[in-house]
């Protein structure tokens, strides 16, 4: 491991920490605090969903069938798989297996991109039939013998506004995650991580698992019930 030029402690260890262990714990706690703010951000939107659903349960039950559970379910499995590869990556980082760490980071990136591609086809499929967030909501057209005009009922627009905002902000988190994972993968390919220092991988993993958890709740609430 590279040592600090002056006093011989590990290069990754900042002066104000007693040990690598303390630095790791502090970084991880900071990440958990950030994740709480993320949970609170999304909980605002879950509260919105809860209030509108309790006011208009029959509308939500009707219009949620517009969302394709096969695409949503497939994306759920894709995100779960990406969480699995992140966890595997950290496992291999802890075992000093840099090659397998990189393989798992790249797999995670691929899963994240698949998620976004599916989301793209979902969004454009909805836009093609006038299902937009907000005032532009104007469902029309016939898909597989199903006339979208029947979804033009009061409060259906609210459901789809909630759908687009919640999944949109979630997708934004996926895009940010992709950016961070590219950076982490590049650093891993330069051999910067080892069992002695893998804090950035651990923190990015925590973020990614949270993005996965948000989707675990979004999928049944929006697509299934």
Q: Which residues bind other proteins (CB under 8 A)?
A: 9-10, 13, 19-21, 24-25, 28-29, 32-33, 35-36, 39-40, 43-44, 46-47, 50-51, 53-55, 61, 69, 73, 76-77, 80-81, 83-84, 86-88, 91, 94-95, 195-198, 205-206, 209-210, 212-213, 216-217, 219-221, 224-225
Closer CB to other proteins, 35 or 130, in the complex = 35
Angle (nearest 5°) at CA 76 between 71 and 81: 125
Closer CB to other proteins, 27 or 113, in the complex = 27
Least CB distance to other proteins at residue 67 (A): 12
Least CB distance to other proteins at residue 128 (A): 25
Closer CB to other proteins, 19 or 176, in the complex = 19
CA 69, CA 48: separation in Å to the nearest integer?
A: 22
Least CB distance to other proteins at residue 217 (A): 5
Closer CB to other proteins, 51 or 186, in the complex = 51
Q: Sign of torsion, CA 172 176 181 182? A: positive
Closer CB to other proteins, 133 or 220, in the complex = 220
Least CB distance to other proteins at residue 87 (A): 5
CA 132, CA 168: separation in Å to the nearest integer?
A: 12
CA 49, CA 161: separation in Å to the nearest integer?
A: 10
Find all residues with CB under 8 Å of 189, minimum gap 6, and list them.
102
């Amino acid at each position: 491991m590279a040592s600090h030029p002056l006093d011989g402690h590990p290069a990754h260890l900042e002066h104000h920490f007693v040990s690598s262990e303390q630095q790791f714990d502090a970084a991880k706690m900071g990440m958990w605090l950030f994740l709480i703010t993320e949970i609170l951000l999304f909980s605002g939107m879950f509260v919105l969903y809860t209030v509108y659903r309790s006011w208009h349960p029959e509308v939500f039950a009707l219009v949620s069938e517009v969302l394709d559970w096969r695409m949503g379910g497939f994306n759920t499995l894709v995100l779960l798989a990406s969480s699995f590869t992140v966890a595997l990556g950290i496992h291999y980082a802890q075992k000093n297996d840099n090659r397998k760490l990189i393989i798992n980071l790249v797999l995670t990136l691929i899963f994240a991109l698949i998620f976004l591609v599916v989301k793209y086809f979902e969004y454009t499929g909805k836009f093609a039939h006038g299902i937009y967030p907000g005032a532009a909501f104007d469902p029309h057209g016939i898909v597989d013998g199903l006339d979208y005009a029947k979804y033009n009922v009061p409060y259906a627009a609210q459901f789809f506004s909630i759908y687009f905002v919640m999944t949109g902000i979630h997708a934004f988190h996926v895009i940010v995650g992709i950016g961070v994972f590219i950076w982490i993968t590049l650093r891993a390919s330069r051999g910067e991580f080892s069992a002695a220092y893998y804090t950035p991988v651990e923190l990015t993993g925590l973020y990614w698992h949270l993005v996965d958890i948000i989707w675990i709740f979004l999928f049944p609430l929006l697509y299934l019930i």
